[in-house]
Structure 1
Amino acid sequence: MAEQKNYITPEGYATLEKEFQQLVKSERPELVKVISWAAGNGDRSENGDYIYGKKRLRQIDSRIRFLTKRMDAAEIVYSRTQTNTEKVYFGAWVTLFNLADDGEMIIRIVGQDELDPAQGYISWVSPMAKALLGKNLGDTIRVVTPGADTEYEIIDIRYE
């Protein structure tokens, strides 16, 4: 089965790459040194440094494999080159007006590895993003989630 594309912004890809490099070039080599030192201290069955080090090394190696797969499947989307700025596409900053409570919110549609609700980053596969993708400035959307059924008007679309 072919792996699903991992749509991601250039900033998101850079974040994955930075974490990967940190693990491969810094954390893993330092941990291997600690494990090697601890292994030389005798009985490994009661050696906390050795036991913890091996456990942490497995975690790091697992994360490296995960990051490698995500970066290999990545398709970087350069939203700054978007020419139709009146429509919502991946990477867009969208300002929404909540028709129920007259509140505004700003969200950005990003890749699954970039989620950060505190910054307004939502995944392109989320119900909100699915309702927004392809819509125009001024359109009204309805977002249905288990907790609510809310209508929003798209009042601004930006690509930065």
Structure 2
Amino acid sequence: MNKTPLTVTGAEQLRMELHKLKTVERPSVIAAIAEARSHGDLSENAEYDAAKERQGFVEGRIKELEGKISNAQIIDPRLLDADGRCVFGATVQLEDMDSGQSVTYQIVGDDEADIKEHKISISSPIARALIGKYAGDIAEVQAPGGVREYEIIEVRYV
């Protein structure tokens, strides 16, 4: 399996979610199943069916997170020495060439991407257009509304 890049923060978030699933959610579901069983006939027991469905979701998510964490390549952006180049983990300040608006994004793994937090996935069109470029370069991004051009103002590793 290929290694999946994650920032230190993203890896910690996945570990925290996994810990919560194992220590809080799993025991809660087991208790709900036991409670539903105590009500008797399982063939028409909606509580039991719901608890079993929830158990399947929790166990599936635990497996998924364990796989992601075991295949993670954890990258600390502060330790990068990319000589000002846009790479995974870099925080990039851009200026839209059409509107003149400035925006800052951090390039992160797929699981930690959150546009509200200004974190974009390494596999997004804008991140793919930025990778390998330097401050002062122009990145052309194929957007749904056509090609957008962004000038890279600054590249930081924080």
Local SS of the residue matching 1:46: coil
Matched, 1:110 2:108: yes
Verify the 8 A CA contact 1:9 1:110 in the aligned structure 2: yes
Matched, 1:78 2:79: no
AA paired with 1:82?
A: L
Residue 125 in 1 paired to residue 123 in 2? Answer: yes
Counterpart Cα distance in 2 of 1:84 and 1:92: 9
| TM-score, length of structure 1 as denominator length | 0.94
Contact 1:85–1:158 (CA<8 Å) still a contact in 2? no
| Helix, strand or coil at the partner of 1:100 | coil
TM-score (ref. length: structure 2): 0.95
Pairing partner for 1:30 from 13, 28, 31: 28
User: Aligned residue pairs: how many?
Assistant: 158
Instruction: For residue 5 of structure 1, report the CA deviation from its aligned partner.
Output: 1.9
Deviation of residue 4 (structure 1)?
2.6
Runs of 4+ in 1 over 6 A off after TM superposition: none
RMSD over aligned Cα, in angstroms?
Answer: 1.2
Name stretches of at least 5 consecutive residues in structure 2 with no aligned partner.
none
* Match for residue 143 of structure 2 among 129, 142, 145: 145
The residue that corresponds to 2:58 in the other structure is 60
Q: Secondary structure at the match of 1:128?
A: helix
Contact 1:85 1:157 in 2 (8 A): no
Unaligned runs of at least 5 residues, structure 1: none
Matched, 1:101 2:99: yes
